């Protein structure tokens, strides 16, 4: 699937972000990077080259960060597995180093406002398991009653926006562009201010 296809997940995400920051898509194009899910486990970037999957790239960006603030509208099982297996999470890819050494490289501050179906996962019979898992990983979780069409995150000073469908993260956009960063920070603040913090209990 090519990003030139106006209905592709990458094109939809580019258009969404351009509208959100009131920018001409052509002007913004050179300042953002996008990867979308292709057929099978491959993904295609804006140039049509093979690239990491959107979930894989998101896990990589988060794993490299000192701080993460995010709005998450739905859980993605593939992304959760990648984060659990990453060295930052002290997963299986530790090559003999201690769990403590790997956890030291995880983001020191993680605040996530779960909304939509992701917020629903924090309650109910399985909710306590999900909440405990988040606490164990050092995530300050908040439950927001509304919806969000996309995942929005500020990963250190980088804005990250993800489009998720029934199969997981369909496309991921990331950028250091100041206008997108300001929009991402304001969006995260708005959702967190309207959310209720949850505990592991």
Spatial distance between the Cα atoms of 88 and 132, rounded to a whole number of angstroms: 18
101 part of a folded domain: no
Q: Would residue 152 count as lying in a domain? A: yes
Q: How many CB atoms within 10 Å of residue 88?
A: 20
Average pLDDT over the chain, rounded to an integer: 81
CATH code (residue 117)? 3.30.870.10
- What is the per-residue pLDDT across 92-107, written as a single tens digit (0 to 9) for each? 443 443 444 434 445 6
Choose among 165, 196, 158: nearest CA to 62.
158
**Position 3 in a domain:** no
Contact 187, 29 (CB under 8 A): no
d(CA 147, CA 82): 25
Kindly state whether residue 43 falls inside one of the protein's structural domains: no
Contact call for residues 19 and 28 (beta carbons, < 8 A): no
Distance CA 70, CA 27 (A): 26
Pairing of strands 67-72, 151-155: antiparallel
Residue 40 belongs to a domain = no
Does 127 fall in a domain? Answer: yes
Residue 192 lies in a domain: yes
pLDDT tens per residue across span 23-47: 998 889 899 999 998 844 344 444 4
In a domain, 100, yes or no: no
CA angle 112, 166, 22 (to 5 degrees): 60
pTM value? 0.80
Residue with the bigger pLDDT between 132 and 5: it is 132
158 strand-pairing partners = 155
- Lowest-confidence region among 72-76, 91-95, 144-148, 172-176: 91-95
Domain holding 20, by residue range, is 8-34+52-84+106-197
User: Looking at the 3D structure of the chain, how many domains does it have?
Assistant: 1
Give the pLDDT score at 104.
45
């Amino acid at each position: 699937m090519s990003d030139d296809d106006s209905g592709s997940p990458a094109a939809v995400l580019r258009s969404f972000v351009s509208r959100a920051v009131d920018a001409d898509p052509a002007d913004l194009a050179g300042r953002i990077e996008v990867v979308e899910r292709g057929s099978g486990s491959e993904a295609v970037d804006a140039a049509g080259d093979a690239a990491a999957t959107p979930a894989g790239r998101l896990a990589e960006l988060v794993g490299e960060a000192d701080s993460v603030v995010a709005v998450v509208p739905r859980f993605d099982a593939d992304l959760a597995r990648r984060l659990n297996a990453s060295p930052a999470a002290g997963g299986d890819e530790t090559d003999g180093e201690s769990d403590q050494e790997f956890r030291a490289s995880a983001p020191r501050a993680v605040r996530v406002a779960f909304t939509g179906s992701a917020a629903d996962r924090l309650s109910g019979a399985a909710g306590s398991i999900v909440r405990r898992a988040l606490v164990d990983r050092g995530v300050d979780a908040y439950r927001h009653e509304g919806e969000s069409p996309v995942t929005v995150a500020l990963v250190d000073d980088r804005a990250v926006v993800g489009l998720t469908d029934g199969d997981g993260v369909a496309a991921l956009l990331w950028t250091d562009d100041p206008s997108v960063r300001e929009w991402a920070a304001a969006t995260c603040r708005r959702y967190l201010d309207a959310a209720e913090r949850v505990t592991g209990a």
